[in-house]
Every structure is written in C-alpha cells, then in structure tokens.
C-alpha cells in the first residue's frame, strides 16, 4: 500500500517533498494530471470529475490514503467527493481508503487553532488587526474558502485573496525568473493597493506557487511571513496516520511519479526546486 499525492501538474511536488521528508519509509505515488492542467480556470463540475478520476487512478495503483496536493481540487471537489462518491466507492474495495485535502491544515496553520474550533460569534464588532493575503487560482478565490473558514475561527483576521490566473501554467511551462518576478510583483502590488497597505502575512494558496516561493518572498514586504502549506500538510498527515492505523502507507520507501500528460523529465524550474531531475511515467 502507499500514499497517493494528486495535483493538476507539478505543483503538488511541493507537498510531496515535505511528505517524503516527514515519512521517509512510506511508499509514495504521485499523479500529475498534466493533460488537463491547469485546473484554476475550469468549472466546478470539471474539477470534481477530474479529481475523482485522479483518485481512482491512485487507488488502482494501491494508494490507501490520497492527499489532494492541490488547493483547487481541495476547495472545489473534496467535500463533494467525500459526500457523494467516496462512501460507495469504498464499499466496492476490500480495504480502507480515504482522501484528504490541504485546506484544513492550512487554515489551522493560519489561525493557530484546531479545525474543530469555531469561535463563538459575539454581537460586538471585532477589530481586524491581522491582514492575510491569499494568492491562489481563480477557482480557489471564487470559492472564498479561505475567507469563510478563517472568519469562522478568527474574527480579528481579514483575508484578501488575489487570483493569479496563468501563474500555475507559467510554472508548468518552466517560465524564466524575470517573467515570473514581473507577474508576481504585479499581483503583490494589486493586492496591496486593494488592501490599502501591505499584508501582515501571506498564504501561497496554490501548490505551484511554492516552487517560486523565493520570488514571492523577495516581492512581499520584508517581515511578511509566508504560511507554507507543504509543511503544515505533512505535519497533519503524520498526525492523521498515527490516529488512523487502518491506512497503510507502506514501508518500502518507493517513489513513483505518474502523469496523464507527456512522460519524461520535468522543466528546469521543477528540477531546481527538487534538487535534481524528476521523471514522470505515463499514467
Ligand atoms: N496546484 C493547484 C492548486 O493548488 C492547481 C493549479 C492549477 O491547475 O490551476 O490550486
């Protein structure tokens, strides 16, 4: 058995890398749906269907637990699949399987509170003292998931989201640092203007953006911390496996990488992030 990691493309490698560091003995199988990337501009229906197909593929390969290393899939598809598809699908298999997303650990990291904690809403107005900027795909921003879930837990935090259409695709295509910096700078300027001042903290709410986190760091105001989803997710998955020994992560240390797109080595930007070549097999 193994841990499956799913993304539309190479972005989920950021989460995969953190998971592997945390759970080195586990067997991992990665699937990038590069034939259909990017997901960020697709309809909810399409995102749900593509995410389901990716999960089936990973379960077929022997995954017991799948991590949706994609905000867009986690925000748009996860709850739907858990409610409408997974219970029936689970019955058709003779082993325990589950799918986890990356929004919950990110909200926990951003609020400093466990997911179960929903603050009591009091009538009096709470001053927003902490301005959090979320950079994400169009679909994730449209879902307002970060605004809604953070507001339920921390009324002193104001969330502003900035859709960065095209940025995930630039990373898939291995765009150069100058072009990436220009695009990221424009988004940081746009959200700063909208807020009226620089943000206090930032979430890279698309796993692709972690591959260019250094450019975000250089572009965001000095002292504006970035909440990193890969680390938060790896911690959460480790704790989840401790609580749920029924999901078998394997012990062989296997690493396989599948793509629905063109098999082969990934671009130089991915290699620089990964620290060496990453070769995807045909799914
Ligand atoms: N990496 C994904 C995310 O975290 C999706 C990017 C895309 O395919 O548009 O949202």
Domains of the chain: 2-103+230-282 (3.40.50.1860), 105-228 (3.40.50.1860)
What pLDDT is stored for residue 117 in this prediction?
85
Atom of ligand 1 nearest to the CA of 38: 8
pLDDT of residue 23: 98
30 pairs with which residues across the strands? 5, 257
CA distance 235 to 108: 11
pLDDT in tens, 246-279: 999 999 999 999 999 999 999 999 999 999 999 9
For residue 205, what pLDDT is reported?
98
Inform me whether the pLDDT recorded for 123 exceeds 80. no
pLDDT at 121: 65
Record the pTM: 0.96
pLDDT tens string 54-69: 999 999 999 999 999 9
Q: Is the CB of 4 under 6 A from ligand 1?
A: no
- Position 238 pLDDT exceeds 90: yes
Residue predicted with more confidence, 61 or 94:
61
Q: Is 70 in the pocket of ligand 1 (CB under 6 A)?
A: yes
- Residue 55 is a catalytic residue: no
Residue 120: pLDDT band by 50, 70, 90 thresholds?
A: low
Q: Would the CB of 164 count as within 6 Å of ligand 1?
A: no
User: Which pLDDT score is estimated for 21?
Assistant: 97
Give the residue, by CA position, lying nearest to ligand 1 atom 2.
Answer: 70
Instruction: Please give the biggest Cα pair distance in the chain.
Output: 57
> Is residue 45 predicted with pLDDT exceeding 90?
yes
Cβ 134 vs Cβ 141: under 8 Å: yes
Q: What is the pLDDT of residues 8-17, one digit of tens each?
A: 999 999 999 9
Beta bridge partners of residue 43, listed in sequence order: none
* Pocket-testing residue among 8, 36, 270, ligand 1, by greatest number of atoms within 8 A of Cβ: 8
What average pLDDT does this structure show over 145-150? 97
- Over residues 26-49, the mean pLDDT reads 98
Q: What percent of the chain has pLDDT over 70?
A: 98
pLDDT class for 128, splitting at 50, 70, 90? Answer: confident
pLDDT at position 174 over 70: yes
Q: How far apart are CA 19 and CA 5, in angstroms?
A: 9
Pairing of strands 201-204, 2-7: unpaired
Rounded to the nearest integer, the mean pLDDT of the chain is 96
pLDDT of residue 119 exceeding 90, the answer is: no
Residue 156 has, within 13 A of its CA and on its CB side, a CA count of 7
Residue by residue, DSSP assigns 25-55 as TS-EEEEE-TTT---TTS-HHHHHHHHHHHH
pLDDT surpassing 70 at residue 50:
yes
Residue 18: closest CA among 217, 215, 211, 261: 211
- Give the closest residue to 145 by CA, choosing from 98, 78, 191, 195: 78
Express each pLDDT in 185-206 by its tens digit: 999 999 999 999 999 999 999 9
pLDDT of residue 95: 93
Across residues 128-147, what is the average pLDDT? 96
Question: E-assigned strands of the chain?
Answer: 2-7, 28-32, 63-68, 98-100, 130-136, 157-163, 201-204, 226-227, 255-259, 264-265, 279-282
Q: Looking up tokens 């900027």, which residue turns up?
A: 133
Cα(57) to ligand 1 centroid in Å equals: 19
Tens of pLDDT, residues 175-189: 999 999 999 999 999
């Amino acid at each position: 058995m193994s841990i499956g990691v799913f993304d539309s493309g190479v972005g989920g490698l950021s989460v995969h890398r953190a998971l592997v560091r945390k759970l080195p003995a586990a067997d991992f199988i990665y699937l990038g749906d590069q034939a259909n990337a990017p997901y960020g501009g697709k309809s909810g229906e399409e995102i749900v269907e593509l995410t389901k197909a990716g999960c089936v593929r990973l379960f077929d390969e022997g995954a017991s637990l799948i991590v949706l290393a994609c905000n867009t899939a986690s925000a748009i598809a996860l709850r739907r699949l858990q409610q409408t598809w997974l219970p029936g699908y689970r019955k058709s298999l003779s082993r325990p399987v589950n799918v986890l997303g990356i929004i919950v650990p990110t909200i926990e990291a951003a609020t400093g509170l466990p997911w179960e904690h929903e603050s009591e809403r009091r009538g009096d107005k709470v001053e927003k003292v902490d301005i959090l900027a979320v950079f994400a795909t169009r679909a994730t921003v449209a879902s307002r998931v970060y605004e809604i879930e953070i507001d339920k837990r921390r009324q002193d935090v104001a969330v502003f989201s900035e859709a960065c259409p095209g940025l995930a695709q630039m990373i898939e295509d291995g765009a150069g640092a100058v072009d990436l910096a220009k695009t990221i700078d424009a988004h940081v300027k746009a959200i700063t203007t909208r807020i009226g001042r620089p943000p206090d903290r930032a979430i890279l709410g698309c796993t692709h953006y972690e591959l260019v986190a250094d450019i975000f760091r250089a572009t965001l105001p000095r002292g504006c911390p970035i909440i990193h989803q890969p680390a938060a997710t790896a911690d959460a998955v480790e704790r989840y496996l401790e609580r749920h020994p029924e999901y078998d992560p394997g012990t062989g240390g296997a690493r396989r990488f599948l793509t629905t797109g063109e098999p082969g080595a990934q671009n130089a930007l991915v290699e620089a992030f990964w620290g060496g070549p990453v070769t995807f097999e045909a799914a």
